[in-house]
Structure 1
Amino acid sequence: MFLKPGFRDEYKKRHDQIWPELADLIKSTGVYDYSIFLDEETNVLFGVQKQDGDLSSQDLGANPIVRKWWKYMADIMETNLDNSPVTIPLEEVFYLD
Structure 2
Amino acid sequence: MKDKNNTQFFDVSVEQTRSVKSIIEDVYKALSEKGYNPVNQIVGYIMSGDPTYITSYKNARSLIVKVERDELVEELLAEYIKNNSWKEEN
Same fold by TM-score greater than 0.5: no
Q: TM-score, structure 1 length as denominator?
A: 0.29
Q: Looking at both structures, which has the greater relative contact order when contacts are Cα pairs under 8 Å and sequence separation is at least 6?
A: 1
Larger-gyration structure (1/2) = 2
Bigger strand fraction:
1
